[in-house]
Structure 1
Amino acid sequence: MRPARALIDLDALRHNYRLARARHGARMLAVIKANAYGHGAVQCARALEDEADAFAVAFIDEAMVLREAGILRPILLLEGPFSTEEVQRAAAFDLWPVVHHAGQLAMFDAADLPQPIDVWLKLNTGMNRAGFEPEDVRAAWLRLRDSGNVGEITLMTHLARADEPQVITTDEQVATFDAAIAGLEGPRSLSNSPATLGWPSTHADWGRAGILLYGADPMPDEASGLRAVMTLESEVISVREVPAGTPVGYGARFVTSRPTRLGLVAMGYADGYPRSTRDGTPVAVDGMPARLAGRVSMDLLTVDLTDVPGAGPGSRVELWGPQVPVNRVAQAAGTIAYEVLCNVKRARFEYRG
């Protein structure tokens, strides 16, 4: 059996959720959109169902996968409904739609629901991606209330730069939010993952834990106590010894500077390890530090084993996980951990805990 696999530590997932909820001090959504950021939405939801206050996904098809798997907790639809029919499906399956533009207000006006459902009303406070402008939120809140189809209205916004602790944008967004919703009834939700960890001023009735659930620390000091949930690993399948000056891989991007032992690893960009990752990116071989050497291929990559003399065929290679933070790999690939984790495929998934 090809040794490329993604080990998913569900105990670590629960640890990270508990940490987030304790840090935030109030109810916490577990965000499991995009197949739980590549970790397996159904498996992660089952692991958290006894602990999570509610879940969040992007759209209704993701929610229905969870409902069909027997997940009963409330589920927030972050993109909201795309039609009046979806409003009615949300009512039937205990889903909480986000409402963030005028077209969705019209869907609630037109819906024929057996009883009101809870919604989340989103404000644009500076992200400039989705949400009502501050001067329009009161009218939107009144229209939802008067539709007869809406029960509790949670007021929410999304923070654009909470992962930058020295930047004042988050404080400005909080001030804009507070001013816009003054006098409106309903719970509040501002905190995403970095705000949960680093901005107590954003902590309100609901937090929304996303990337932190999976152990990729969104704060620059990476000192939050999160545990890696996914370990992407494989094995060395062959070893080649080459002299100094030997080019390795497509395009001869890497050239050895010394006599080198090269380990060929069964892992490539078709498995989700980024092709753009630079030479020298850390890996761990049998628990010892090593590095990527040469351009990543579709099915294979090469690591420098010179400083791990005991390594050879069958040696375990951690591409990211507890020893090699996924943030470091993402940085070396010129991207972010969110994208790297979401792109894992073809590797065999194994769940523990």
Structure 2
Amino acid sequence: MPKETAGGLLHIDLSALASNWRTLRDNAGGAEAAAVVKADAYGTGIEQAVPALARAGCRTFFVAHLSEAIRVRAVGPDATIYVLNGLFPGTSPVYVEHKLRPVLGSFEEIEEWAAFCRSQGQKREAAIHVDTGMNRLGLTVAHGLTLKDRAECTDFEVALLMSHFVSAEESDNPLNIRQIESFKAVRETLPGVRASLANSSGIFLKEKPHFDLVRPGYALYGGNPTPDHDNPMSAVVNLEARIVQLRWVEENGTVGYNARWLALGRRRIATLSVGYADGYPRSASARGKSGEELLAGMVVVAGRLCPFAGNVSMDLITVDVTDVPEKDIQRGDTVTMIGGSLDLDEVGRRAGTIGYEILTNLGRRYARSYRGKQG
């Protein structure tokens, strides 16, 4: 979309993305650093992010869906690609066609993959997922301890044993230790099989549970993997919105749907051409009175933080810009919605959600621009 006609401008820094991968690799204690590029590379674009990461040295990628894996293969012909969400019945031929690896999380999936490999007369690679505490996907630890005795596991190559942290961003959570110990117990029964446990935050735990491969996701795109400390990652995403209109609202006037925001005194309102249809969460709405400290969205206008005023609507957001000198703001200007002091985690906090959701909801109506080498 041409930037001149777009309501929002999304800037993605591929050099920062590559730099973040190198930072995570350097903190992984010699383990291989993969990259999680599910959800369209966390909203930044698989077709742009994967080549940038590959040029930085990344060789292994994880996605959630088979359709995403096929897209990664198209731009990563030599990559190792794992599909996290398991093996859907009857899809084994698609994995082989595109040289993909399923992550098997149940005996049913293991049996189906093994039977397919037998029918082909060739051992194919797959990962096995053991659940150490999430209770979401994967074999139980008790079942994982029996893998060495399962005949089906000799019909294919177990290329990776993996699990997933529940609360790695909480560095002192005792569940981290329990998960590490459970994972170690299963790993010891499968000598020679590569192992992976650490996500972005797991890389930075003092226990250093790096094993053979780490799987960063959120941190690659600028999210803070160490919430109790300064963010070691560089910003990758910057989002700007265009001002459609400026108006004055008189004292006791209301703004937005359901009249949830009240002007105490005369206030100047900027209307932005972005809304929840563009992926900006409605939960960032400001409901109250002007001047109140609200946990709601903010934007940067001419270098000043300005609060939302009223509900986020489908295509528009209203902002109180009274404190911005009139000479510094006009129709058609852009304001910063993500960037600078409004990093992903702060934007998520103000919307009552997490930066992950902000990233992965980035809409397709934005004009996208990429900095750094791509393709």
> 14, 17, 31: which one pairs with 2:18?
14
> 271, 279, 285: which one pairs with 1:272?
279
Q: Equivalents in 2 of 1:141, 1:322: separation in Å?
A: 51
Cα deviation for residue 199 of structure 1 reads 4.3
Q: SS at the partner of 1:16?
A: helix
202-211 or 66-75, which deviates more: 66-75
Match of 1:321 in 2: 339
Amino acid at match of 1:285: V
From the superposition, tell whether residues 181 and 69 of structure 1 become closer, same or farther in structure 2 (CA, over 3 Å).
Answer: closer
Q: Is the 8 A contact 1:121 1:141 kept in 2?
A: no
From the superposition, tell whether residues 48 and 149 of structure 1 become closer, same or farther in structure 2 (CA, over 3 Å).
Answer: same
Q: Equivalents in 2 of 1:248, 1:73: separation in Å?
A: 51
From the superposition, tell whether residues 59 and 164 of structure 1 become closer, same or farther in structure 2 (CA, over 3 Å).
Answer: same
Mapped pair 1:170 → 2:176: yes
Q: Equivalents in 1 of 2:125, 2:46: separation in Å?
A: 23
Amino acid at match of 1:158: H
Q: Is the 8 A contact 2:148 2:189 kept in 1?
A: no
Mark the runs of 5 or more structure 2 residues left unpaired by the alignment: 287-295
From the superposition, tell whether residues 149 and 175 of structure 1 become closer, same or farther in structure 2 (CA, over 3 Å).
Answer: closer
Mapped pair 1:135 → 2:154: no
Q: Is the 8 A contact 2:267 2:320 kept in 1?
A: yes
TM-score, length basis structure 1: 0.93
Amino acid at match of 2:11: L
Q: Equivalents in 2 of 1:198, 1:312: separation in Å?
A: 47
Q: Is the 8 A contact 2:133 2:166 kept in 1?
A: yes
CA distances 1:128-168 after superposition (whole Å, capped 9, x unpaired): 11111112113334436754332x43221111011112311
Q: Is the 8 A contact 1:29 1:56 kept in 2?
A: yes
Q: Which consecutive aligned stretches of 4+ in structure 1 deviate over 6 angstroms post-superposition?
A: none
Cα deviation for residue 211 of structure 1 reads 0.9
How many residue pairs match? The answer is 351
Q: Is the 8 A contact 1:269 1:298 kept in 2?
A: yes
> 12, 21, 28: which one pairs with 1:24?
28
From the superposition, tell whether residues 244 and 198 of structure 1 become closer, same or farther in structure 2 (CA, over 3 Å).
Answer: farther
Identity %: 34
Match of 1:302 in 2: 318
Q: Is the 8 A contact 1:13 1:229 kept in 2?
A: yes
Mapped pair 1:76 → 2:59: no
331-340 or 185-194, which deviates more: 331-340
Mapped pair 1:121 → 2:128: yes
Q: Is the 8 A contact 2:126 2:160 kept in 1?
A: yes
Q: Is the 8 A contact 2:147 2:153 kept in 1?
A: no
Mapped pair 1:281 → 2:297: yes
Cα deviation for residue 49 of structure 1 reads 1.4
Mapped pair 1:106 → 2:119: no
1:97-246 pair list within 5 angstroms:
97-111=102-116, 112-113=119-120, 115-143=122-150, 146-150=153-157, 152-185=158-191, 186-221=193-228, 223-246=230-253
Instruction: Give the aligned CA root-mean-square deviation in angstroms.
Output: 1.9
Q: SS at the partner of 1:302?
A: strand
Match of 1:64 in 2: 70
Q: Is the 8 A contact 2:54 2:76 kept in 1?
A: no
Q: SS at the partner of 1:191?
A: coil
Q: SS at the partner of 2:71?
A: helix
From the superposition, tell whether residues 144 and 100 of structure 1 become closer, same or farther in structure 2 (CA, over 3 Å).
Answer: farther
From the superposition, tell whether residues 109 and 65 of structure 1 become closer, same or farther in structure 2 (CA, over 3 Å).
Answer: same
Q: Equivalents in 2 of 1:146, 1:58: separation in Å?
A: 23
24-33 or 227-236, which deviates more: 227-236
Q: Equivalents in 2 of 1:246, 1:144: separation in Å?
A: 73
Mapped pair 1:344 → 2:351: no
Mark the runs of 5 or more structure 1 residues left unpaired by the alignment: none
171-180 or 89-98, which deviates more: 89-98
Q: SS at the partner of 1:49?
A: helix
TM-score, length basis structure 2: 0.88
